[in-house]
Structure 1
């Protein structure tokens, strides 16, 4: 049996566990990925407090997402839910900042957090059709119901090309933090990524409602619902591409420190 050498570790190591990673290498292809997104007004100061610099919240809207992924390469069949905020970057480009995510599959939790910095936690989200005419999304954390979203099922069609452009052309941002062995931050980055090879199979809207409940470990209600302003239901095929570092906070802090000491 050959030894796990320095050279082989450097060449082959990719993710944990090193001998049997929890997920394969990216990118990942999703077929029939189903989005149910409810946009609602919240407290603008609460948004400002959670959006990392240099990003700025575009308005007082939060986009609460329920997503079914029945066919995803490497990850299989799972569901997730969470909150996305419209932001502007330093160049004034409109983008999406993902604030929270809850899902039911260990592989994409580990891969999403370690590769891109998705803020993923283990929970039990669902997305289904309820009572024949209602699109229903739910989130349970432990035994507690944290979120319930509803929409009239396929009431009005949306422009498929407009929905494709939203998915394909909008930059997405994440705050990636990985700790050092001493508990300090070893990686602290603003990550940017895009969705590629997007084809929208259908898109609809309808009347919608959203209810969020307070929870210490799943604080989605910290961005409270003031008023639901719209919803959309989109089914698409797409590829989750690799990301890029938009800002290295640790390097930026070191540069500022050096500049001060000169």
Structure 2
């Protein structure tokens, strides 16, 4: 392989077998259950990186169960937790945990944006013939199979006005170990902005509902400690159908260089993060 061909490689393995192409990555008809709740503040403190603080006096998390029928990476399920957090005066949804059941979005998510993805077993059920859940949709997360880490359920009682939802960027920690002993090769906070239009019904109403919801962290796993963010109070749950595209992220802080960057990519003071 010559240098010109090598320079065209975007992801491993180099050459024609690359795992994924450059962004953007298209997602269509994505169905989300997401539930906001209050967790134990000590669990939140144990999972936020330096310089990132809870955005609320009583911390707020959002648990997510996602079914993706079509994406550039293929169909798959995903589950994650977000913490409402601040960094540099900006409010974000910080993502400490995320699972998928497809290897390609796993490697792309970890390598590009620093999403802390692992493989897990996720299943979504809804009421109807042969299922016992009646009016509820149920989303379960196991790792390994048989060890339940999270259970989510929602009854879609009424339509929700999309204007009442927060529209916050995602924040993640991109950490790549060094090939030699020493500090990591990459240690960054990465911001990702996503515009996610809702699908609309034949009546013209957005496909977004709210209703009675529950979420529980079922196992105390030392390997996957989602229980650190177990809910103490449920706030609200939603179900919606979305389209969106994932593009490049933006580095907002480099822990190795000690630099924080503004929205234009210019380095600013990072004294608060040291």
Match of 1:238 among 220, 232, 244: 244
Which residue of structure 2 aligns with residue 147 of structure 1? 150
Which residue of structure 1 aligns with residue 85 of structure 2? 87
Determine the C-alpha separation between the residues in 1 that align with 2:180 and 2:251. 24
How many equivalent residue pairs? 243
Which residue of structure 1 aligns with residue 19 of structure 2? 22
Which residue of structure 1 aligns with residue 125 of structure 2? 128
Alpha-carbon distance, 1:141 to partner: 0.6
Determine the C-alpha separation between the residues in 1 that align with 2:3 and 2:22. 21
CA contact (8 A) 2:197 2:242 kept: yes
Residue 216 (str. 1) matches residue 222 (str. 2): yes
1:52-201 matched pairs, under 5 angstroms: 52-59=49-56, 60-73=59-72, 75-91=73-89, 93-130=90-127, 131-143=133-145, 144-152=147-155, 154-163=156-165, 166=166, 169-183=167-181, 184-196=183-195, 198-201=196-199
Aligned-pair Cα RMSD in Å: 1.9
Alpha-carbon distance, 1:23 to partner: 1.8
Alpha-carbon distance, 1:132 to partner: 4.2
Alpha-carbon distance, 1:82 to partner: 1.3
CA contact (8 A) 1:30 1:237 kept: yes
Match of 2:210 among 201, 205, 209: 205
CA contact (8 A) 2:154 2:212 kept: yes
Structure 1: segments with no counterpart, 5+ residues: 254-262
Determine the C-alpha separation between the residues in 2 that align with 1:242 and 1:236. 19
More strand by share: 1
> Could you give the per-residue CA deviations for residues 5-45 of structure 1, whole angstroms, max 9, x where no partner exists?
23432x21211111211122211111111111121211112
Alpha-carbon distance, 1:96 to partner: 0.7
TM score, norm. by length of structure 1:
0.87
